[in-house]
Chain A
C-alpha cells in the first residue's frame, strides 16, 4: 500500500538550482526566444538571488537555469578566476546544483563571465554567459526606453554611428573602449557587455552559444553559434582592437594576448595575462606538468 510519505517529496531547503521551476521555465522560454532573434533584447522577470543587483544577478539566473549535475562550471571576473566575486559565485553554483567547479576553459561546459571572453577558443558544446550591467546600446543617445525600442524596430542606429563620428572628429580615432556597439546577424545592434574591443571579434561566427543577461535591467539577449557579430565601423576607418600584441606577461612569459597593466613604484608598468586560467596553465606547463592548452583566438596579437 502506497503511503503518504512515498507520494510526497522529501523536504529540501531549496529547489534544485536555487530558482523555482516556474522561474526556470520562464527563463528558458525567454532564452529560446533570444536565440531565435539574435541580438534582440527580451524582457524577463528577474528574480531575487542571494546577491545584490549589479553583481551579476542576470548572469547568475541564466547559469542557474542551464546547470545540471553533470555540468562543469567556470566563473571569471574581469578575466580572473580567483577574484572574490568569481569564487563566491562559482561555489554557490556548485553548491545548489552539484555541478563540478573548474578554472580550465577547455574543461568547462558553462562559463559565466564578467567583462571578458576567455582567450582559448570555445567549442560548440560550451556556453558563455556574460553579465551585463547596461543592455541598451541606445541608452547614451535615447533615455526613453519606449523610444529606444521603437528605434530598434526601425533599425534606426544613425545616432550610434554619430557617436563614432564625433569621436573621430574630436580625437582622430574611435575611443569606444568597451560596450562597443555591434550589429548582430545584420539586424539588431547589441551592447556586447563591457568586454574590451579585443573580445568582440571572438563572438563573430563563434562555435559556442553566448547568452547575455542583465538582472537589474531585466533583459537578456543571445548570440547563437555561427552568427555574424560586426562592430559598427566606417568603411574607411577599420575596427581596431587594443594594441597588446607586443606586450609580454611578466609571470608566464606569454605574449600576444590581452594584458592587465600593473603599475610599479618606479613609475613603469608590468603586464600580466588578463585570462588568469590561461596564465595558470602556462605556469604549470613551464613547471613541467602535462597541461593541455587549447587553441587561442589570437596568436601573437593577430586574430
Chain B
C-alpha cells in the first residue's frame, strides 16, 4: 500500500497485517516545542513485537505529547517515526494528513483517559466500533455487527449492552468500549493514555485484568502511559522514564522499580503520599 499516493476514495481493507520480525515502532531524535517550552528533546523510542512499554514521568514531562506523536495526531518539529507495516517504509511524520489518518484508522488503536475524546457519546456503543470499520471501508451491515460483537467480546463488554450509548455507561464500561473500538481492526499498535485514571480501584483492576488477558491471548504491542506506577508495574515489560521532555532512564520494569539508577527515577519510585 502506498500511503502517500493512495487516493481518498480507495480503501484497503485486506491489507496484510503486521510482520513481527523487527521492532514494531521506532522513533528517532523526536523534538518538539510549544512556544518557549521544549516538550520533547531528542527522544528515541523502540517498541518490540508483543511487548508492553510503560512511559512514566511527572506532569508536563512529555508523556502524552509523545503518545500523540505515536498516534500521528501531532507532528513534531523534527524526528523520524517508523512502524513495521508492510509498504510503509518512509518516515511517517512526512506523510500527508490523509495518509496519516488512514494509517491511524487501520493500524493504530488508542484508549484515552477521557472517553469523551475517543467516543461519540450519543451514538450506540456498537456504532462507535462500527465507525472505525466504516473508515476502513467495510460496507456490510452484518459484518459490522459481527465484528463489533467480536471486539466487545475481546474487551469483556456485555454484549446485551452493545447498542447502549456510552453516555449511559459507567466509566469502566466506557473504557471497555474504547478498547473494543481500538481492537476492532486488530491494530499493530495499541496506545493507552492513562486508561485507568479516574476509575475506582475495583474497576481499575477489572480493566487491567482485561488488558492482561488480551496481552496473553493475542500478543498485542502496547504503549501505556500512566502516572500510576502500580499500573505500570503490573502491565509493563519495559519502562521509559521521562522528565522535561527527555528520556532519563530506560530499562526492564523490574530493573527500573527495584534498582533505579537515575536520581529522578529513584525519587519517583520511592515517592509516597
Binding site for B on A (CB under 8 A): 153-156, 158-159, 161-162, 165-166, 168-170, 186-187, 234-237
Contact = CB atoms under 8 A, between A and B. Distances in A.
Given A162-B130, A165-B130, A169-B163, A156 B139 contact: no
B51 interface: no
- Taking residues whose C-beta sits less than 8 angstroms from the other chain, chain B's interface range is 20 to 34
B134 A158 contact: yes
Contacts of B97: 154
A237 B141 contact: yes
B101 A234 contact: no
B131 interface: yes
Interface in B115-174: 120, 123-124, 126-127, 130-131, 134-135, 139-142, 144, 163
A234 B8 contact: no
Interface of B: 8-9, 97-98, 101, 120, 123-124, 126-127, 130-131, 134-135, 139-142, 144, 163
Nearest to B139: A235
Given A166-B123, A169-B127, A236 B135 contact: no
A165 B134 contact: yes
B141 A168 contact: yes
Contacts of A153: 8
Contacts of A235: 139-141
B131 A166 contact: no
- Chain B CB within 10 Å, residue with most, of A155, A168, A169, A235: A169
Contacts of A168: 141
Given A161-B139, A162-B127, A165-B134, A187 B144 contact: no
Given A153-B8, A166-B123, A166-B124, A159 B131 contact: yes
Contacts of A237: 141
Contacts of B127: 162, 165-166, 169
Contacts, number: 50
20 contacts: A154-B97, A154-B101, A155-B9, A156-B8, A156-B101, A156-B135, A158-B131, A158-B135, A162-B131, A165-B130, A165-B134, A166-B123, A166-B124, A168-B141, A169-B126, A169-B127, A187-B9, A234-B139, A234-B140, A236-B140
Contacts of B120: 162
8 smallest beta-carbon distances between A and B, as pairs: A158-B134, A155-B8, A234-B141, A158-B135, A155-B9, A161-B134, A235-B140, A154-B8
A237 B144 CA distance: 12
Nearest to B105: A158
A113 B252 CA distance: 71
Contacts of A166: 123-124, 127
Given A154-B8, A154-B98, A155-B9, A162 B139 contact: no
- Chain A CB within 10 Å, residue with most, of B126, B144, B163: B144
Contact of B123 (A154, A162, A186, A187): A162
Nearest to B144: A165
A165 B142 CA distance: 10
Contacts of B101: 154, 156
B246 to A, nearest CB: 35
A150 B124 CA distance: 25
A39 to B, nearest CB: 12
A148 B45 CA distance: 35
A30 to B, nearest CB: 24
Contacts of B130: 162, 165
